[in-house]
Amino acid sequence: MSAFEKKAPQEPDGSWMETYGDMVTLLLCFFILLASVSKVDSVLYEQVQSGMTSEIGKQPPQRPIESMRKELTEVVNAAAGGSDAADVATDDRGVVLNLDAGALFQPGSAEIKSELQPLLKEVVETLVQPRFETYRFEIQGHTDDTPVQTAQFPSNFDLAAARALSTMRAMVALGLPAERILVTSFGPFAPRVPNRLEDGTPLPANQGLNRRVAVHVYPR
Q: Are residues 154 and 73 in the same domain?
A: yes
Look at residue 70 in the predicted model and tell me its pLDDT: 95
Q: Which of 145, 140, 156 is nearest to 108 (CA)?
A: 156
Q: Which of 189, 193, 190 is nearest to 216 (CA)?
A: 190
Diameter of the chain measured on Cα atoms = 109
In sequence order, which residues have a C-beta less than 8 Å from that of residue 9 and are 6 or more positions away?
Answer: none
Report whether pLDDT(17) > 60: yes
Separation between Cα atoms, residue 17 and residue 164, nearest integer Å: 59
Look at residue 5 in the predicted model and tell me its pLDDT: 56
Q: Are residues 98 and 134 in the same domain?
A: yes
Each residue's pLDDT tens digit, 100-145: 999 999 888 999 999 999 999 999 999 999 999 999 999 999 999 9
Q: Are residues 29 and 80 in the same domain?
A: no
Each residue's pLDDT tens digit, 72-98: 999 999 998 899 999 999 999 999 999
For the chain, the three-class secondary structure string (H helix, E strand, C coil) is CCCCCCCCCCCCCCCHHHHHHHHHHHHHHHHHHHHHHCCCCHHHHHHHHHHHHHHCCCCCCCCHHHHHHHHHHHHHHHCCCHHHHEEEEECCCCEEEEEEHHHHECCCCCCECHHHHHHHHHHHHHHCCHHHCCEEEEEEEECCCCCCCCCCCCCHHHHHHHHHHHHHHHHHHCCCCHHHEEEEEEECCCCCCCCECCCCCECHHHHHHHCEEEEEEEEC
Q: What is the mean pLDDT of residues 16-37?
A: 66
Confidence of residue 51 (pLDDT cuts 50, 70, 90): very low
Q: Are residues 33 and 117 in the same domain?
A: no
Backbone angles phi, psi at 56, to 5 degrees: -90, -50
Taking the model in full, what pTM does it have? 0.74
Full domain range(s) for residue 116: 64-219
Look at residue 112 in the predicted model and tell me its pLDDT: 95
| Mean of the per-residue pLDDT values of the chain | 84
Q: Is residue 92 part of a domain?
A: yes
Q: Is residue 71 part of a domain?
A: yes
Each residue's pLDDT tens digit, 170-212: 999 999 999 999 999 999 999 999 999 999 999 999 999 999 9
Q: Are residues 84 and 45 in the same domain?
A: no
Q: Which residue has the higher pLDDT, 45 or 102?
A: 102
169: exposed, middle or buried (Cβ count in 10 Å: 0-12, 13-18, 19+): middle
Separation between Cα atoms, residue 10 and residue 31, nearest integer Å: 38
Q: Are residues 151 and 203 in the same domain?
A: yes
Q: Is residue 36 part of a domain?
A: yes
Q: How many domains would you assign to the chain? A: 2
Q: Which residue has the higher pLDDT, 34 or 110?
A: 110
Q: Are residues 94 and 160 in the same domain?
A: yes
Q: Is residue 11 part of a domain?
A: no
Say which CATH number the domain at 171 has.
3.30.1330.60
Q: Are residues 195 and 157 in the same domain?
A: yes
Look at residue 66 in the predicted model and tell me its pLDDT: 92
Separation between Cα atoms, residue 210 and residue 54, nearest integer Å: 39
Most confident stretch, 5-19, 61-75, 139-153: 139-153
Look at residue 57 in the predicted model and tell me its pLDDT: 46
Report whether pLDDT(27) > 50: yes
Q: What is the mean pLDDT of residues 37-54?
A: 46
Look at residue 12 in the predicted model and tell me its pLDDT: 60
